[in-house]
């Protein structure tokens, strides 16, 4: 069942169209990535989903029920089912950690506030910091407080607006790990807005690529990332680094989405007796699984290329040729 469905959403600021006929469908349990460069319209889209912004055309459905169109913005009931975390954390500086989580419950005048807040803080691993103030926390800890504050409203969907963009790589991984855990353990649907390819790549199962106010590609993560069709998608997926290094030789690209636990490159060398050189690699290990991408330069002899391709197909390894 679709958890959130956006149909033909459009929005303009004066003459400038920021969102142009956006349609996408997020299922329960998805971690849905929305990838795009800055200015592509990502933030406006997420603000429309949360009702912070009105739009000119289209509809938003939540669990197949219409919750917003051009005349009716998302109301408070649904805002609390679709909660948000932000790039700048947006914590109340004058309240301690517990107070920040309680804030969400005060807004809805909930019962058993303290108990619920402590449960949420326990989920994000901050139970020993409840009386600290934001100024005493690291960036990662601040984002955990923000996540707890979003969770305490018991949302169905968590909207993450560049939530890891101001964090260092290690902290980013730990926040992504936490989001993944919340997704797996509590079935939380997550919509991740990011301009960072590795963030989307490491936890999303679906992705939409937004460029110039339009969705240019959309689908299962592996489909889109292994076979990008549009120029912008290719640009995003193969970093500039790779583009400049492409020459007339063939190159292929592997995407690791956590399903491989063998040393791939070593196996190619060992089993096929082919020497390959790595042109570009960007992988990381999360929960003992490898995520990321590797681009290798193929050997020059035709025979060796055939052997390698056969080998990869036999082992059901996703790969694609990198074109200029």
Partner 1 sequence: MNFETLLIPTLETILMTIISTLLAYIVGVPLGVILSITSKNGLKENKWINLPLGLFVNIMRSVPCLLLMIILLPLTRSIFLKGTGAWYTMIIPLFFASFGFVARIVEESLNEVDSGVIEMARSMGASTTQIIYKVLFKEAKPSLITGLAVSTISILGYTAFAYDFGAGGLIASAYSFYTNYTGNYLSYPNVWIILLVIILIVQLIQEIAILISKKVDKRRKAK
User: What is the Cβ-side half-sphere exposure of residue 168, based on CA atoms within 13 angstroms?
Assistant: 4
Q: Is 32 in the site for partner 1 (CB under 8 A)?
A: no
Provide CB contacts within 8 A for 128, sequence distance 6+.
none
Region 194-223 residues binding partner 1, contact defined as CB under 8 A: none
Cβ(192)–Cβ(286) under 8 Å? no
Helix (H) or strand (E) holding 232: helix 231-237
Closest-CA residue to 142 (of 87, 190, 105, 179): 87
**Of 88 and 239, CB closest to partner 1:** 88
Task: Provide φ and ψ at 219, rounded to 5°.
Answer: 155, -165
Q: Is 305 in the site for partner 1 (CB under 8 A)?
A: no
Strands 189-194, 157-161: parallel, antiparallel or unpaired by DSSP? parallel
Q: Is 259 in the site for partner 1 (CB under 8 A)?
A: no
**Of 75 and 259, CB closest to partner 1:** 75
Strands (E) across the chain are located at: 2-13, 16-27, 31-35, 57-62, 65-68, 82-86, 157-161, 189-194, 206-211, 214-220, 251-257, 277-286, 289-297, 319-321
Spatial separation of the C-alpha atoms in residues 213 and 18, rounded to whole Å: 5
Among 56, 64, 66, 92, binds partner 1 (CB under 8 A): 92
Among 6, 26, 34, 84, binds partner 1 (CB under 8 A): 84
Q: Is 246 in the site for partner 1 (CB under 8 A)?
A: no
Region binding partner 1 by CB under 8 A among candidate stretches 5-13, 28-36, 47-55, 219-227: 47-55
**Of 74 and 221, CB closest to partner 1:** 74
Q: Is 94 in the site for partner 1 (CB under 8 A)?
A: yes
Write the interaction track for partner 1 spanning residues 52-71; mark x where CB under 8 A is met and - where it is not: x-------------------
DSSP string over 120-139: HHHHTT-GGGTT--GGGS-H
Q: Is 114 in the site for partner 1 (CB under 8 A)?
A: no
Task: Provide φ and ψ at 233, rounded to 5°.
Answer: -65, -45
Among 135, 244, 273, 300, binds partner 1 (CB under 8 A): 135
To 10 degrees, what angle do helices 97-107 and 139-151 make?
30
**Of 139 and 258, CB closest to partner 1:** 139
Q: Is 165 in the site for partner 1 (CB under 8 A)?
A: no
Strands 206-211, 31-35: parallel, antiparallel or unpaired by DSSP? parallel
Among 106, 168, 220, 321, binds partner 1 (CB under 8 A): 106
Q: Is 72 in the site for partner 1 (CB under 8 A)?
A: no
**What SS3 class is residue 70?**
coil
Cβ(30)–Cβ(220) under 8 Å? no
**Of 50 and 198, CB closest to partner 1:** 50
Among 98, 120, 153, 294, binds partner 1 (CB under 8 A): 153
Question: Residue 96 Cβ, how far from partner 1 at the closest point, in Å?
Answer: 7
Longest Cα–Cα distance in the chain: 71
Region binding partner 1 by CB under 8 A among candidate stretches 46-54, 198-206, 252-260, 266-274: 46-54
Among 10, 90, 205, 318, binds partner 1 (CB under 8 A): 90
Q: Is 88 in the site for partner 1 (CB under 8 A)?
A: yes
Q: Which residues bind partner 1 (CB under 8 A)?
A: 50-52, 75-77, 79-80, 83-84, 86, 88, 90-96, 103-104, 106-108, 132-136, 153
């Amino acid at each position: 069942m679709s958890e959130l469905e956006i149909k033909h959403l459009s929005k303009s600021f004066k003459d400038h169209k920021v969102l142009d006929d956006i349609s996408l469908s997020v299922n329960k349990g998805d971690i849905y990535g929305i990838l795009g460069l800055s200015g592509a319209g990502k933030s406006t889209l997420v603000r429309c989903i949360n009702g912070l912004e009105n739009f000119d055309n289209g509809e938003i459905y939540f669990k197949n029920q219409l919750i917003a169109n051009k005349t009716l913005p998302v109301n408070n009931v649904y805002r609390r089912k679709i909660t948000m975390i932000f790039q700048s954390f947006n914590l109340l500086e004058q309240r301690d950690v517990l107070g920040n989580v309680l804030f969400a419950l005060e807004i809805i005048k909930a019962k058993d506030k303290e108990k619920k807040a402590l449960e949420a803080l326990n989920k994000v691993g901050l139970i020993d910091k409840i009386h600290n103030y934001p100024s005493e926390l690291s960036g990662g800890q601040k984002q955990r407080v923000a996540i707890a504050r979003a969770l305490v409203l018991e949302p169905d969907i968590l909207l993450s607006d560049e939530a890891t963009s101001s964090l260092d790589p290690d902290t980013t991984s730990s926040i992504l790990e936490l989001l993944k855990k919340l997704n797996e353990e509590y079935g939380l649907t997550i919509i991740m807005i990011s301009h960072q390819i590795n963030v989307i790549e490491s936890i999303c199962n679906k992705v939409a690529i937004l460029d110039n106010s339009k969705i240019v590609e959309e689908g299962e993560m592996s489909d889109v990332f292994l076979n990008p069709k549009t120029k912008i998608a290719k640009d995003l997926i193969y970093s500039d680094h790779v583009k400049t290094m492409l020459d007339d030789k063939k190159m292929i690209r592997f995407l690791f989405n956590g399903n491989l636990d063998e040393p791939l490159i070593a196996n190619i060398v060992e089993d096929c007796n082919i020497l390959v050189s790595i042109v570009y690699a960007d992988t990381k290990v999360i929960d003992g699984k490898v995520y990321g991408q590797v681009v290798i330069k193929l050997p020059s002899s035709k025979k060796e290329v055939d052997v390698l391709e056969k080998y990869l197909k036999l082992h059901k390894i996703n790969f694609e040729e990198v074109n200029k």
